[in-house]
Amino acid sequence: MAAPAAVAPLRVAPSAARRSTTAPAVRRCYDVLDLCRGCGITDFTDGKYADDRNDRQAYLAAQRRQAEYLLDQVDCRADSRVLDVGCGYGRILRAAAERGARATGITIAPPQLAAGRAAGLDVHLVNYRDLFFDVRFTSWQHAFTGVIANGSLEHFVQCEDAALGLADHVYAEFFDICRRLLRPGGRLATTAIHARRIGQVNPADLTAGPGRWPRGTLNYHAANLHRSFGGWFPEPGQLERCAAGRFELIAAEDGTHDYYLTSEFWMRQIKRSLALNPRSWPLAIRTFARRPVATWHMLRCLLWDESWNYQFRDPPPAQLWRHTWAVVS
């Protein structure tokens, strides 16, 4: 394979104060997805399955297995310090703490911050792009033995950015920031949904919403996901190209089938809870009252159009990659 061409870093003066604007769709997405807690779902990434059994017990075991896998990838032990970029409700933080490690998470979602702090976890509300422009976090430079970004990377680039040709720069900047967070010899583990083919979707085609496309087509589902989740998927080889000179890819695992099983469980569980379990209703009603349009779009996207599940159903247009990266010294 040819060596990937290096991507130049973004030039941002290190002393400049900066507050990145997190895409409004990403903020809305996690305000709305908070209703999943009422349905018994607090994990928002692929589990790692032992077989095709897919009941609640298998789901929980798969989520646990995935956390342990990622912690192994960053060599997490009792004396480690781990940062979870996009920590959700803190599954990785809890598993790291059980190993005796010091674990910290960041999120852009206020409901996740509140839940994490209430559970005694070390969670901060910050966009990773601002870490070194915020005095609260300057001591984090080269402080971590491991960094994990588990299902957050798909939000870092928006279709609008990709249409402007900015995706490579955002990914390269992400790798630069992770490098700055890590101690020498540190490891980064990422899990991210990828497009299956280069040029599979034109980002400019997704910005006007799903209504522009025939229902059930790839563009319809992709525009639906963009509207409700906010994001853009890296293409095959793109992360490796953007990491060049910063990180070396040392392990890669295809978790697409695992994400298929996870997504099918999620959909069943949410449908069943909202239809039959009154305990899921208060949070759903509160979410709907707070964000009626976004909640309607999200429930339609997930439960009616099944756009999330479409990504992993045969033949899956998306691919989930678990990547492990070593700092290039």
- Residues near ligand SAM (CB under 6 A) are 22, 26, 30, 43-45, 85-88, 91, 106-109, 112, 127-128, 150-152, 155-156
Q: Taking the complex as a whole, how short is the minimal distance between the CB of residue 22 and ligand SAM, in angstroms?
A: 6
C-beta separation of 63 from 106 below 8 A: no
DSSP class of residue 316 equals: P
Q: Taking the complex as a whole, how short is the minimal distance between the CB of residue 1 and ligand SAM, in angstroms?
A: 30
Q: How far is Cα 234 from Cα 231, in angstroms, rounded to an integer?
A: 10
Please, which residue, 86 or 146, has the CB nearer to ligand SAM?
Answer: 86
Contacts of 142 (CB under 8 A, 6+ apart): 180, 181, 182, 183, 184
Q: How far is Cα 218 from Cα 313, in angstroms, rounded to an integer?
A: 12
Please, which residue, 80 or 263, has the CB nearer to ligand SAM?
Answer: 263
Q: Taking the complex as a whole, how short is the minimal distance between the CB of residue 20 and ligand SAM, in angstroms?
A: 7
DSSP class of residue 300 equals: I
Please, which residue, 45 or 273, has the CB nearer to ligand SAM?
Answer: 45
Please, which residue, 176 or 213, has the CB nearer to ligand SAM?
Answer: 176
* Backbone phi, psi, residue 68, to 5°: -65, -40
Q: Taking the complex as a whole, how short is the minimal distance between the CB of residue 212 and ligand SAM, in angstroms?
A: 26
Q: Taking the complex as a whole, how short is the minimal distance between the CB of residue 153 and ligand SAM, in angstroms?
A: 8
Q: How far is Cα 286 from Cα 194, in angstroms, rounded to an integer?
A: 33
C-beta separation of 104 from 60 below 8 A: no
Q: Report the 10 Å Cβ neighbour count for 282.
A: 11
Please, which residue, 91 or 297, has the CB nearer to ligand SAM?
Answer: 91
Please, which residue, 87 or 96, has the CB nearer to ligand SAM?
Answer: 87
Q: Which of 310, 328, 314, 308 is nearest to 33 (CA)?
A: 308
Q: Taking the complex as a whole, how short is the minimal distance between the CB of residue 160 and ligand SAM, in angstroms?
A: 15
By beta carbon distance, the residue nearest ligand SAM is 86
